[in-house]
Structure 1
Amino acid sequence: MRKQDYVTNQTDKTVFIISGGFLILFVILSMMNLSMVENWINQSFAVSAKFFGSYWEVLLLANFVIGIALAFSKYGKVRLGKMEKPENGYYRWVAMILCTLLASGGVFWAASEPMTHFLSIPPLFEDTSGTLAGVEPALAQSFLHWGFLAWAILGTLATILLMYLHYNKGLPMKPRAFLYPVFGEKIFHKKSVIGSIADIVSIIAVAAGTMGPLGFLGLQLGYGLHHVFGVPNNLTTNIIIVGLLIVIAAISVATGIDRGIQLLSRVNVGLTVLLAVCILILGPTLFILNKFVSGQGFHLQNMLTMALYQGDQAWLGWWTVFFWGWFLGYAPLMAIFIARISRGRTIRELIIAVSIVAPLVTNFWFTVVGGTGIKAELATPGVISGPLNDGGMPAAVMAIMDQLPLGAVLAIGFLIVTLVFVATTVDSISYTVAVSLTGSDEPHKMIRVFWVVIFGLMSMMLLAIGENSIAAIQNSIVVTAVPVSILMLPTLWGAVQVAKKLAAEQKITVRSESTNKSSSNSTREA
């Protein structure tokens, strides 16, 4: 196949029209008959969870285990992206990675999920709801959903495969690349129907996963502004918030990864660390530290059982399977983003950063925020659970801040962090959609900004339709995760093949074998 048959820096019109048209159709149908759309999504959601839940559990676990095995084998020394030294410093690199998942919901889930599991212990464990003995199971379940397995699917094996194909073989940086182990270079042909479908479902999935949280977090920020400053919590306020988010994200994505996106990510992580330190100092410090250690130990002890649990199907569909579908929907484009910022890193550095460092930071954040809420609930039952039941996640966050000295200041800090987190999500997603449409890791500035604006306008329209439309599109990502999860399967062995091939090219395997032979000869001579 000739190179010009697949390499292009122009927008793939077929993928653009179909994926964009699908999103517009969703909004139009929601405007016409929201209850019908909700019914379709709920039914599809139930089918997806029932028939693919077990597969997703095995897929995420296998992805994590294979990645860790690669990282701590001789193949961990393989350097990716045809670059001798990393183009991004470690802090800047990890900051951009952290802003991919935490921003998509981890800010507010950190308050509500540990508390929800504490009030109603997951069915896998003995029912110790609302007691001190229930803290570890509650934290451990949250750690599972936002920890090692979730992070690993976003940018480890898929990223290794993608970086090899793009930087070593010069092939387009598109989601269809994950099917390379099955179809070879034919998958990159312009007329490949399967390749186009792979790109389309990946873009639709990540768009649903971006528009939903964008509108959802707009609602949460509106609640927080009302709680702290008395600003009216209405549609106008929510639309203004989303508009502000879009302006910040557009400026960031226009200046590119090496400037705007990395700067915003560094600032955001710095603010989050500062907020966490303040909560840690002003809150129940020893309780947080002790429960992070014991909760992490409980998590590691029960990780395999939790990861493969198949008991209460209704509970699984609402929690674990929902999260796995959500993160799978993000996976292809997040792998593209992480591939773009990870040139010069070794496989070991990539796996450790994404599969270990980022999850531990996330788990600590969940313990700081969620643990503070649990401690307050233990001391005064109802002080956090009441607002959580009445007003949802944003009410829980504000209730937790109210229990601390300087609570109003911390609440403002929380709102600022959330605002910047959402902006970093939108800019990175818009960048990766532009990459997926063009195949270039440096898509034109206007294409990147275009997608920021589209996400913003569609989120505003969904807000205008009603809060249920936001929930509907957020749930739809689980449905789109079905084809995406099939797309991700070949990366399990494709990444291993790439590691072996690059190790041979970089003479890592040869050196290891020669060293072993030298040792054997010395032993014989002795």
Structure 2
Amino acid sequence: MKHDDDPLLTPGQDNKQVMGLDFHNPVFPLSAITILAFIIYALVYPDLANQQLVAARGWSIEHFDWLFMIAGNIFVLFCITLIFLPVGKIRLGGQDARPEYSRMSWFAMLFAAGMGIGLMFWSVAEPVAYYTDWYGTPLNAAAGTAEGAGAAMGATMFHWGLHPWAIYAVVGLSLAFFAYNKGLPLTLRSAFYPLLGERTRGWIGHIVDIVAVLATIFGLATSLGFGASQAAGGLAYLFDVPNTIGTQLAIIVVVTAVALFSVWRGIDGGVKLFSNINMVIALVLLLFVVFTGSTLLFVNGLWTTTVDYVSYIVPLSNWIGRDDQTWYHGWTVFYWAWWISWSPFVGMFIARVSRGRTVREFLTAVLVVPTVVTIVWMTAFGGTALDQATNGVGALAGGIDDVSLAMFQMLEHLPLTTLTSTLAIILVLVFFITSSDSGSLVIDNITAGGKTDAPRSQRVFWATLEGVIAGVLLYGGGSTALSALQAGAVATGLPFTIVLLVMCFSLYVGLRQEQRQLSLTAAI
């Protein structure tokens, strides 16, 4: 590993200054041109783009399901191993570094960026979908039975527990370590410096960063577009607001405007503020469901959900001889590809806010704590939804018709429905805001060559572009264009799986070097 006088270690060394922007050449222009070309293509030929990208996604999932599954298992075992190894004592930023944020604010930011918005919808819809055989059942468990209910909760936790957070942890820890301990730019290419050396400054590094930008902005724009449709569906369900393209575009405009305010203020004044608001609203909603539903059901459910998760994690991690191919490919492998495609965004944002933490503290917070919180959340919302479906209460008893309405259909049979459903819509929108502004900060970071103090106008540019992409595709191509965008983002999960596996090895090499240097220093 080189030292601080190495020119590679200067963030933004190859940057260009154009019209007040300070961007890395050629990452910024090539990313912008590729994004523009794809938007035009998706608008002019939405059906063809969707057909081609869905085929690419399907091909990668069908032929490389084994790779996704093996890699997911490796990431979990790798992270758990690092927690217990001596390298866990290494502090990100050096032994004298101290955290910039309190543990509560730190956790709120990483959780909001990681998967907060997904839990709002899928904590209710997913277990009910499995229980009612909406699109297959995990391990072919009998739908509508006690076995099916246990498999539903175990599989839902499997998709939202250790495995996805291990994916994020690998990227986040790699970027934080090489940026804060080795002085490298905070971009994805830096994680491969122990293996590639100076070549990270060349086209290999450029390609890694460009693909990371595309995966991030396509994933965020897709989520924003589909999220607007879901939020509009909730408004129509609750308040008879017409679920039209105009309503959906208005939601995108509002979310983007607030996100612009947030990215302009930066992490402290924007992202941290909204992430803390997220946690407060989520806690209020969680406590409401726990105490107005069956509290006894929740208390018992904490144990049964944990047992179901532990019972099913090994068989669901298996990729050999699966008989539940429809469910396996449509849910698990798709999820793994999606989490991996999001890992550059979430991992880099977690790295941005994690300076001063030890490796052990970082991995415990990113891997274990979210899993425990997810067990609590899934028990409250998923357990209540399954109880309603099992006892024939409400629309969920008939299965999932519209994922965006599942949460509201569950809340409909609890007290103060209008108030809690309104709170849920607000929480969804705030989660979108935090995802958008944290994503804009990450994209700006990559396209500025690792600089964290690029002009505010660049962050505004990327935040605006996310909203424009979502709005234009929704207006011009509808759900077909958005599906094409999502399929394209998921398809990037295949090459990034290889990238992350190599990243694990590179990170271990770097951590071992750091440990040896610290041991030598202590011995002198």
Using structure 2 for the length normalisation, give the TM-score.
Answer: 0.92
Q: Which residue of 2 aligns with 1:86?
A: 99
Aligned AA (1:91)? M
Q: Which residue of 2 aligns with 1:444?
A: 455
**What are the superposed Cα offsets for residues 453-475 of structure 1, whole Å, 9 maximum, x if unpaired?**
00001100111121222222122
Q: Which residue of 2 aligns with 1:3?
A: 7
Per mean C-alpha deviation after superposition, the further-off stretch among 434-443 and 235-244 is 434-443
2:123 to 96, 110, 123: 110
CA contact (8 A) 2:128 2:399 kept: no
Deviation at 1:510, TM superposition (A): 6.3
Q: Using the alignment, how far apart are the partners of 2:274 and 2:194 within structure 1?
A: 36
Per mean C-alpha deviation after superposition, the further-off stretch among 74-83 and 105-114 is 74-83
Q: Which residue of 2 aligns with 1:150?
A: 164
Q: Secondary structure at the match of 1:11?
A: strand
Q: Secondary structure at the match of 2:23?
A: coil
Q: Secondary structure at the match of 1:158?
A: helix
Q: Using the alignment, how far apart are the partners of 2:406 and 2:227 within structure 1?
A: 14
CA contact (8 A) 2:222 2:470 kept: yes
Q: Using the alignment, how far apart are the partners of 2:484 and 2:418 within structure 1?
A: 33
Identical columns (%)? 29
Q: Which residue of 2 aligns with 1:207?
A: 217
1:356 to 362, 368, 373: 368
Q: Which residue of 2 aligns with 1:414?
A: 424
Q: Using the alignment, how far apart are the partners of 2:273 and 2:349 within structure 1?
A: 15
Q: Secondary structure at the match of 2:361?
A: helix
CA contact (8 A) 2:388 2:394 kept: no
* CA spacing shift, 1:345–1:6, aligned 2, 3 Å: closer
1:241 pairs with 2:251: yes
Q: Secondary structure at the match of 2:143?
A: coil
CA contact (8 A) 1:112 1:397 kept: yes
Q: Using the alignment, how far apart are the partners of 1:13 and 1:462 within structure 2?
A: 28
Q: Which residue of 2 aligns with 1:328?
A: 340
Structure 1 unaligned residues grouped into runs of 5+: 515-526
1:262 pairs with 2:272: yes
Q: Which residue of 1 aligns with 2:110?
A: 97
Q: Which runs of 4+ in 1 moved over 4 A?
A: 121-124, 508-511
Aligned AA (2:465)? I
1:166 pairs with 2:166: no
1:45 to 57, 60, 79: 57
Aligned AA (1:17)? P
Q: Which residue of 1 aligns with 2:83?
A: 71
Aligned AA (2:222)? G
Q: Using the alignment, how far apart are the partners of 1:199 and 1:217 within structure 2?
A: 26
Aligned AA (1:462)? L
CA RMSD, Structure 1 to Structure 2 (Å): 2.1
Q: Using the alignment, how far apart are the partners of 2:81 and 2:307 within structure 1?
A: 21
CA contact (8 A) 1:182 1:490 kept: no
Between Structure 1 and Structure 2, how many residues are aligned? 506
Structure 2 unaligned residues grouped into runs of 5+: 16-21
Q: Which residue of 2 aligns with 1:135?
A: 149
**What are the superposed Cα offsets for residues 378-435 of structure 1, whole Å, 9 maximum, x if unpaired?**
111662154722xx11221111011111111110110010010010000000100000
**What are the superposed Cα offsets for residues 489-515 of structure 1, whole Å, 9 maximum, x if unpaired?**
22212222222233333339968xx9x
Q: Secondary structure at the match of 2:99?
A: coil
**What are the superposed Cα offsets for residues 292-326 of structure 1, whole Å, 9 maximum, x if unpaired?**
32122121123122122341333222111111111
CA contact (8 A) 2:285 2:420 kept: yes
CA contact (8 A) 1:166 1:172 kept: yes
Q: Using the alignment, how far apart are the partners of 1:91 and 1:508 within structure 2?
A: 35
Paired residues for 1:291-310 under 5 Å: 291-310=301-320
Aligned AA (1:236)? G
**What are the superposed Cα offsets for residues 56-86 of structure 1, whole Å, 9 maximum, x if unpaired?**
2111211111111111222221111235321
* CA spacing shift, 1:69–1:405, aligned 2, 3 Å: same
Deviation at 1:445, TM superposition (A): 1.2
1:222 to 216, 232, 239: 232
Q: Which residue of 2 aligns with 1:461?
A: 472
Aligned AA (2:71)? L
Deviation at 1:241, TM superposition (A): 0.5
1:272 pairs with 2:282: yes
